[in-house]
């Protein structure tokens, strides 16, 4: 054993400082890990809300699927197709007249902002998967300028995992929720009845029927309603999903919509939970082996994973 007298005093002083620094770093790391490492990493990355222009032309060409010629939103000038709705019994003229009535109420063109070389639209597409529980991703989802949320999924009591900010609420009549005056209602219409619903639900009230009860009226700003073009929905099913499943999930269509209108897309809350169930974070799962019904969930998630691998999106998994 060497005596301390063997080491010069200066060496002992420097060694002590190094050991003290290591100890302090270890204690600091432990504190951050115990509280919320995710928040700390976000704070260190000053560019986490900045736009990296992840949707490069090379990435998009490699996918061979993203088609900007397909109008994402229905407008007064949309060239309507007779292949308009799912299992629709009413004729094409009835559909056209309903769309005409729709744009007597709504703005003629959906204003989602035109692309610009000196601006960046960063979007967070927030799904409803149970794997969001305990994720502590809330701080990230308050950061992007355009957070998309799905259907009637709540944020109250889930703020640390989900954040609170919402700019776009994606829904269909059977999944509606009241909105504040600044949130855009993004409607996915599967049938003519859905177009009639949005006309009536934000004015005099809707009295139609569906497979589940539908809200008679909804609080929403009629100037902030965007109706997704049924041609775009068909394009997602045929080109992206190769017609797998009966039709795409709302979450998958919202993701492809975000790719159309955003410069950078971050994705949260998609996929099955650790047990393989496709359950929601806000529900208690009553039956095991809960799947995705008519939606091709596994295939959709495989495409999302491919987009992440190609660095077209940033996928946050828990």
Active site residues: 247, 295
Torsion of CA 215, 219, 224, 227, to 10 degrees: 0
Rounded-to-integer distance, Cα 114 and Cα 48, Å? 23
Is 73 in contact with 226 (CB distance < 8 Å)? yes
Rounded-to-integer distance, Cα 129 and Cα 301, Å? 12
Is 84 in contact with 227 (CB distance < 8 Å)? no
Question: Could you tell me how many helices (H) and strands (E) the chain has, helices first?
Answer: 10, 7
Three-state SS at 186: strand
Residues of 125-135 as b/e, b for ≥16 C-beta within 10 angstroms? bbbbbbbbbeb
309 DSSP assignment:
H
Q: Which of 75, 72, 70 is nearest to 102 (CA)?
A: 75
Helices (H), the chain: 9-35, 37-44, 57-63, 92-105, 138-141, 159-162, 192-201, 230-235, 250-261, 297-309
């Amino acid at each position: 054993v060497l005596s301390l007298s063997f080491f010069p005093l200066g060496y002992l002083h420097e060694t002590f400082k190094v050991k003290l620094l290591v100890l302090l770093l270890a204690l600091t790391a432990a504190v951050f890990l115990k509280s919320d490492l995710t928040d700390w990493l976000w704070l260190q990355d000053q560019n986490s809300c900045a736009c990296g222009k992840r949707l490069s032309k090379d990435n998009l060409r490699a996918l061979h699927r993203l088609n900007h010629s397909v109008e994402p939103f229905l407008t007064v000038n949309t060239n309507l197709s007779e292949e308009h709705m799912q299992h629709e019994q009413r004729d094409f003229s009835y559909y056209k007249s309903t769309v005409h009535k729709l744009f007597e109420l709504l703005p003629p063109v959906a204003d989602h902002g035109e692309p610009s070389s000196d601006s960046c639209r960063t979007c967070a597409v927030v799904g409803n998967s149970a794997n969001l529980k305990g994720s502590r991703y809330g701080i990230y989802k308050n950061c992007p300028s355009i957070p998309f949320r799905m259907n009637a999924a709540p944020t109250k009591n889930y703020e640390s995992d989900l954040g609170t900010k919402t700019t776009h609420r994606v829904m269909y009549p059977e999944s509606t929720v009241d909105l504040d005056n600044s949130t855009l209602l993004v409607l996915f219409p599967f049938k003519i009845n859905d177009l009639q619903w949005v006309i009536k639900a934000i004015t005099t009230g809707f009295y139609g029927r569906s497979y589940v009860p539908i809200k008679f009226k909804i609080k929403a700003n009629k100037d902030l309603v965007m109706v997704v073009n049924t041609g775009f929905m068909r394009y997602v099913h045929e080109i992206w999903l190769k017609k797998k499943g009966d039709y795409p999930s709302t979450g998958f269509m919202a993701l492809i919509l975000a790719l159309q209108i955003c410069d950078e897309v971050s994705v949260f809350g998609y996929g099955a939970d650790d047990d393989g169930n496709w359950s929601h974070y806000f529900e208690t799962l009553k039956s095991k082996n809960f799947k995705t019904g008519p939606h091709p969930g596994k295939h959709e998630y495989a495409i999302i994973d491919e987009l992440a691998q190609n660095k077209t999106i940033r996928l946050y998994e828990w």
